[in-house]
């Protein structure tokens, strides 16, 4: 995944009502999101 693509994915989750958290994924380093009541990494499938 490219940085531009990662930015697009994160922006999409924000537009859907997700909340970017101050914590980052231990695997890829991108911010974690709270979405539909779950904390998840929206970039890597393991986060």
DSSP state of 18: -
Per-residue pLDDT of the chain (47 residues; tens, 9 = 90+): 666 789 999 999 999 999 999 999 999 999 999 999 999 999 997 65
State residue 45's pLDDT score.
Answer: 77
pTM: 0.83
How far, CA to CA in Å, does 18 sit from each of 9, 29, 40, 47? 11, 18, 10, 16
- Beta-strand runs (E) in 1-47: 19-24, 31-35, 38-40
State residue 43's pLDDT score.
Answer: 92
């Amino acid at each position: 995944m490219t940085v531009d693509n990662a930015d697009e994915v994160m922006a999409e989750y924000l537009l859907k009502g997700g909340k970017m958290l101050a914590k980052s994924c231990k695997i890829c380093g991108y911010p974690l999101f709270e979405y539909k009541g779950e904390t998840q990494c929206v970039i890597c499938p393991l986060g």
